[in-house]
Amino acid sequence: MSNSESLISTEQRLGAHNYKPLDVVLTRGEGVYVWDTDGKRYLDCLSAYSAVNQGHCHPKILAAMVEQAGRLTLTSRAFRNDQLAHLYEELAALTGSHKILPMNSGAEAVETAIKAVRKWGYEVKGVPENKAEIIVCSDNFHGRTLTIVSFSTDPDARSGFGPYTPGFRTVPFGDADALAAAINDNTVAVLIEPIQGEAGVVIPPAGYFKRVRELCTNHKITLILDEIQTGLGRTGKLLAEEHEGIEADVTLIGKALSGGFYPVSAVLSNSEVLGVLKPGQHGSTFGGNPLACAVARSALRVLTEEGMIENAAVMGDYFLEGLRSIRSNIVKDVRGRGLMMAVELVPEAGGARQFCYALKERGLLAKDTHENTIRLAPPLVITKEQVEWAVDEIQKTIV
């Protein structure tokens, strides 16, 4: 038994089977590439679901992490540290946010927003206690906590975990009329992804978010955009909302906020929503810790200073053009924005997973989603030559 086979066997024997990864055991990463335990190199076209936008093991983020780890890692929020205020300043300057609440995981950021906007609904909007409603979209993915799966429409994510948290209304993604019809006096927020990533990189129709923004403004509803996957350069803009020319009231970021080095997320808001939280009402031992802040500050710097966002826009267009040039009877649709792309196959192709394994053999790592879709999201440092190589390998695979 090879080393990788032994490791896979141990995972299967001792680990909970709540994931179904491709059978490749990775041991090293640099830039757009990762290597397995046998020394084979792969072009990473998943980027840990957009957590490593800056590329694997970016040296400047690594240096910031090592330096801070040698000074101070954790104080809890019982005391202040010398990194948090700087992170606040830099995030506010970059995004225009008025208030910031740091957390750890993306799901924690979503839960934080749900708590805060409900409290805002009661204390500011005047919704009767325990009557607040949040409108969400079908096929959403916002995490896997119990409250979040309560409003999921994915049977795998939701089934068997009840009783469920009430207070959510579900409407079709991209349907502004359905959203308008779901609004009532108890609606406090709309929680939505600018592009539905887990659903297969689903992009809403043009004008949809302008209408959503108008509805929220007119009805005094908080617009929460979950930019945990789409944010921080992935779509060729700092935030995906910029493509629609709108501004959310609350924005959720995570994943690439640390460049893949550490769990860091944040809730960005106007003063009104996060302003309702008082001491003792919400928190996290690790949220806003000095190590997380130092890593996030460096991750944001390299993202902006090294032109990664602009590169995502240019290389995304080039990659998409290449994918759309592929002639294959099994390709149903190619879509994307920036370096967030998907190739959807016809059902008759027999599922996308087999093609992800075939791509793995060719040295390209991608992941299937929703049965028939291959999701592609390489690090934002990808070059034209690497894009051309990837398109060529995909062309050879999905014939």
Domains of the chain, first to last: 3-58+307-397 (3.90.1150.10), 72-305 (3.40.640.10)
Percent of the chain with pLDDT over 70: 100
Q: Is the pLDDT of residue 1 over 80?
A: no
Mean pLDDT within 118-129: 98
Beta strand 33-36 with 26-30: parallel, antiparallel or unpaired? antiparallel
Mean pLDDT within 3-20: 94
Tokens of 237: 């803009």
Q: What is the pTM of this model?
A: 0.97
Residue-wise pLDDT tens digits, 198-243: 999 999 999 999 999 999 999 999 999 999 999 999 999 999 999 9
Q: What is the pLDDT of residue 177?
A: 98
> Of 288, 300, 232, which is closest to residue 263 (Cα–Cα)?
288
Q: What is the pLDDT of residue 268?
A: 98
Q: Could you give the residue numbers annotated as active site? A: 141, 226, 255
CB atoms near residue 72 (< 10 Å): 14
Mean pLDDT within 77-86: 97
Half-sphere exposure of 186 (CA within 13 A, CB side): 10
Q: What is the pLDDT of residue 137?
A: 98
Percent of the chain with pLDDT over 90: 98
Compute the radius of gyration of the chain from its Cα atoms.
21
* 271 confidence band (pLDDT: 50, 70, 90): confident
Beta strand 250-253 with 222-226: parallel, antiparallel or unpaired? parallel
For residue 89, give Cα distances in angstroms to 63, 70, 285, 297, 313: 21, 24, 21, 10, 26
Indicate the average pLDDT of the chain: 97
Residue-wise pLDDT tens digits, 52-81: 999 999 999 999 999 999 999 999 999 999
Q: What is the pLDDT of residue 399?
A: 85
- Produce one character per residue of 271-285: b if its CB has 16 or more CB atoms within 10 Å, e if not: ebbbbbbeeeebebe
Q: Are 369 and 20 in contact (CB under 8 A)?
A: no
Beta strand 33-36 with 250-253: parallel, antiparallel or unpaired? unpaired
Q: What is the pLDDT of residue 30?
A: 98
Residue-wise pLDDT tens digits, 148-167: 999 999 999 999 999 999 99
d(CA 377, CA 241): 18
What single letter denotes the amino acid at residue 117?
V
Tokens of 98: 């008025």
For residue 167, give Cα distances in angstroms to 129, 137, 155, 289: 12, 14, 19, 32
* 2 confidence band (pLDDT: 50, 70, 90): confident
